[in-house]
């Protein structure tokens, strides 16, 4: 386990592209209304440095890629009728919210791949479909709405294995334990929640320096679920879309170009606080979010395109930048995932000539983020 943990810690030191200061390591976060997650640092990075989530309604979570984001809810190990991640249930019709995505380095028995199991798919919980891998994580999908959260400490500030013998005890009461991702327990609930990972509140206060209780980092009316690395994990039942941004649509960063970090948020979005170098912003529900460092043609900004917005796929809106990535959104309930290898263990460009071949069969290719292909559920 030590190599996995070392890698995750190193990633947060990367500076932001186009910023003269070190304002912005880009998961995952870490992503979804499930999750977050996730970019190159996304799949194995920590939400506190803004590795952004990759799906709607949640902020980035720990090792997931983005998060993937990647929501937290009580696990029902309900399996989709076909077990095929390319479909959305029995009829193939889209759900009214994203399915659950989890990024896992170990299963519920603490086994890792390839040390303890021969097939990475065995890291996924029963009933979850294996989509491929992202860094040290297996990427798993449950075709059912809910929430997935990554937590390194519980509501009482306890950590595993220092304070609790069973990592499952890090999960909030009523949530199911899915396994772990680096230092974090990964937990799920059937309840659809919006998540934000915050290292400072809207007043700029941090814990424990300025507030005695980490729960005070959460916005008013939000619930505190525990902590994830340096971040407080906050939830609300209100359906929102969450984005982490180090620069606004005009390329401005805080505090260099704007006096108020809230001004980094897109027009009409609410400022919830900050995480690492990022402002955390809440917008309308029903958006799929993708964090991209290169477009579908392999172009990057500013080397190949003059406008970072050009990194976003056609038909997607540009919300600003997060670390090295362009943050892009589209009205959709599709899952967005980050993958560095496909279900056959192939990576790009070593084993496949086209990065799009890393995406699961039938999924759309949106571009790349670090070592990951970013894929959209059909």
* Tens-digit pLDDT profile for residues 193-218: 999 999 999 999 999 999 999 999 99
Read off the pLDDT band of 26 (50, 70, 90): very low
Among residues 31, 1, 18, which one has the least CA distance to residue 275? 31
Phi-psi domain of 91 (left: phi exceeds 0; alpha: psi -120 through 50; beta: other): alpha
| pLDDT over 70 (residue 161) | yes
Query: What is the reported pLDDT for 123?
Result: 98
Length of the chain: 378
Q: Which of 170, 173, 224 is nearest to 201 (CA)?
A: 224
What is the arithmetic mean of pLDDT over 218-231? 98
Higher pLDDT pick, 334 / 90: 334
Q: Is the pLDDT of residue 229 over 70?
A: yes
Average pLDDT estimate for 320-332? 97
Is it the case that residue 158 has pLDDT exceeding 80?
Answer: yes
- Report which of residues 72 and 358 the model is more confident about: 358
**Alpha carbon distance 148, 97 (integer Å):** 13
The average pLDDT across 79-87 equals 34
Check residues 64 and 247 and name the one with the higher pLDDT: 247
Q: What is the mean pLDDT of residues 277-300?
A: 97
Nearest to 52 by CA among 213, 182, 247, 209: 247
Cα–Cα nearest to 6, from 182, 270, 244: 182
| Most confidently predicted of 65-74, 77-86, 89-98, 319-328 | 319-328
| pLDDT above 50 for 111 | yes
Residue 73 reports pLDDT greater than 80 = no
pLDDT band, residue 65 (cuts 50/70/90) = very low
pLDDT of residue 124: 98
pLDDT at residue 156, as a whole number: 97
Q: Which residue has the higher pLDDT, 63 or 199?
A: 199
Q: Convert the chain into a string of H (helix), E (strand) and C (coil).
A: CHHHHHHHHHHCCCCCCCCCCCCCCCCCCCEECCEEECCHHHHCCCHHHCCCCCCCCECCCHHHCCECCCCCCCCCCCCCCCCCCCCCCCCCCCCCCCCEEEEECECCCCCECCCCCCCHHHHCCCCCEEEEEECCEEEEEECCCCEEEEECECCCCCECCCCCCCHHHHCCCCCEEEEEECCEEEEEECCCCEEEEECECCCCCCCCCCCCCHHHHCCCCCEEEEEECCEEEEEECCCCEEEEECECCCCCECCCCCCCHHHHCCCCCEEEEEECCEEEEEECCCEEEEEECECCCCCCCCCCCCCHHHHCCCCCEEEEEECCEEEEEEECCCCEEEECECCCCCCCCCCCCCHHHHCCCCCEEEEEECCEEEEECC
Once rounded to an integer, what is the mean pLDDT over residues 299-328?
A: 98
> Residue 239: pLDDT above 70?
yes
C-alpha span between 117 and 103 (Å, rounded): 16
Identify which has the larger pLDDT, 144 or 64: 144
| Residues sharing a CB contact under 8 Å with residue 180, sequence separation 6 or more, in sequence order | 104, 105, 106, 110, 167, 186
Give the pLDDT of residue 28.
33
* Cis, peptide link before residue 208, omega less than 30° from 0: yes
- Beta-bridged to residue 337, according to DSSP, are 375
Q: Is the pLDDT of residue 16 over 60?
A: no
21 pLDDT higher than 50? no
Distance from C-alpha of 112 to C-alpha of 229, rounded to nearest angstrom: 21
Residue with the larger pLDDT of the pair 34 and 220: 220
Residue 245, pLDDT above cutoff 80: yes
Phi-psi region of 12 (alpha: psi -120 to 50; beta: other; left: phi over 0): alpha
The pLDDT score that the predictor gives to residue 97 is 80
Yes or no: say if 18 and 302 are a contact pair by the CB < 8 Å rule. yes
Query: Into how many domains does the chain fold?
Result: 1
* Structural domain for 202, as ranges: 2-376
Distance from the first to the final alpha carbon of the chain: 34
Cα–Cα distance for residue pair 146/31, rounded to 1 Å: 12
Who has greater pLDDT, 4 or 164?
164
Integer angstrom CA distances of residue 295 from 242, 251, 292, 309, 366? 22, 18, 7, 10, 7
- Whether the per-residue pLDDT at 240 is higher than 60: the answer is yes
Return the structure tokens found at 338: 């980050």
Asked if 39 and 85 touch (Cβ cutoff 8 Å), the reply is no
The proportion of the chain whose per-residue pLDDT surpasses 70, expressed as a percent, equals: 75
Span 116-139, mean pLDDT? 98
Q: What is the pLDDT of residues 35-59, one digit of tens each?
A: 333 333 333 333 333 333 333 344 4
pLDDT > 90? residue 338: yes
């Amino acid at each position: 386990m030590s190599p996995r943990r070392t890698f995750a810690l190193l990633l947060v030191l990367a500076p932001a592209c186009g910023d003269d200061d070190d304002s912005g390591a880009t998961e995952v976060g870490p992503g979804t209304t499930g999750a977050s997650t996730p970019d190159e640092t996304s799949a194995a990075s920590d939400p506190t440095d803004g590795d952004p989530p990759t799906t709607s309604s949640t902020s980035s979570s720990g090792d997931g890629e983005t998060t993937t984001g990647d929501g937290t809810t009580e696990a029902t190990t309900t399996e989709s009728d076909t077990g095929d991640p390319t479909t959305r249930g029995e009829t193939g019709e889209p759900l009214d919210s994203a399915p659950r995505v989890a990024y896992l380095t170990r299963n519920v028995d603490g086994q890792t791949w390839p040390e303890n199991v021969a097939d990475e798919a065995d890291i996924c919980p029963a009933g979850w479909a294996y989509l491929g891998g992202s860094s040290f994580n297996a990427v798993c999908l449950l075709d059912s709405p809910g929430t997935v959260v990554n937590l390194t400490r519980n509501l009482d500030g306890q950590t595993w294995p220092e304070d609790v013998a069973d990592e499952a005890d890090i999960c909030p009461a009523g949530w199911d334990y899915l396994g772990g991702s680096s230092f974090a327990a990964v937990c799920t609930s059937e309840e659809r929640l919006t998540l934000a990972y915050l290292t400072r509140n809207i007043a700029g206060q941090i814990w424990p320096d300025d507030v005695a209780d980490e729960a005070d980092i959460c916005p008013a009316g939000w619930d505190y679920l525990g902590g994830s690395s340096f971040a407080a994990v906050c939830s609300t039942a209100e359906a929102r879309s969450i984005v982490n941004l180090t620069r606004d649509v005009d390329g401005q960063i805080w505090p260099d170009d704007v006096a108020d970090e809230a001004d980094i948020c897109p027009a009409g979005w609410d400022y919830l606080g900050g995480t690492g170098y990022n402002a955390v912003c809440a917008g309308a529900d029903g958006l799929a979010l993708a964090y991209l460092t290169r477009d579908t043609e392999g172009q990057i900004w500013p080397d190949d395109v003059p406008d970072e917005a050009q990194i976003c796929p056609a038909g997607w809106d540009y919300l600003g930048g997060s670390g090295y990535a362009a943050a892009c959104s589209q009205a959709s309930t599709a899952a967005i995932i980050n993958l560095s290898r496909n279900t056959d263990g192939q990576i790009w460009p070593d084993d496949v000539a086209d990065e799009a071949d890393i995406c699961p069969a039938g999924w759309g290719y949106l571009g790349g983020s670090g070592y990951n292909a970013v894929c959209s559920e059909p």
